[in-house]
Amino acid sequence: MEHMTPKLKLSIMEVLYKAKATSRGGRGGNVKSADGILNLELRPPKEMGGEEGYNNPEQLFAAGYAACFDSAMEFMARRHKLDVSDADLIVEIGIGRDPSGEGYRLEADITGVFPKGITDAQAEQLMNEAHGFCPYSRAVKGNIDVRLHHTIKS
């Protein structure tokens, strides 16, 4: 009887783009994108025994999450015919020891800073809808604590 290896389905979605990055040395090394545009020396943050003046993985995650969530929020605003082009989206990524004692965990605080003319109710709705739509939010759902906040610019 011939042994047949089942074909592996690599993805259940149509992949539109794939980013590729290579790390050498982890938190105390270098990370670069395949096209060379991103090429950063990394160090742990000062609070974790590292040096100032370098990027760290949490900053990179916060930047990517912020850009993605902001795009999702703008998409939702267009659906509601709201202008949030002057809004700011801030993502803070925290890292700390896992309470189980096994390694570390992340958490996220996401704050939308909306322009005048957007009500508290609209801001809350946009944040919640963006959170349900953003691929980063969907990826971390159930894995890290994510808290949503909003303010209106004065």
- In order of their start, the domains of the chain are 18-55 (2.20.25.10), 57-152 (3.30.300.20)
Indicate the angle between helix axes 120-133 and 57-79, nearest 10 degrees: 120
Residue 8: the pLDDT is: 63
Query: Are 29 and 43 a contacting pair, CB within 8 Å?
Result: no
- Answer yes or no: is pLDDT of 11 > 80: no
* 150 CB neighbour count, 10 Å cutoff: 21
- Answer yes or no: is pLDDT of 5 > 70: no
Residue 137: the pLDDT is: 98
Residue 9: the pLDDT is: 60
99: phi > 0 → left, psi -120 to 50 → alpha, else beta; which? alpha
Structure tokens at 70: 């902001």
Q: Strand, coil or helix: what is 46?
A: helix
d(CA 81, CA 31): 40
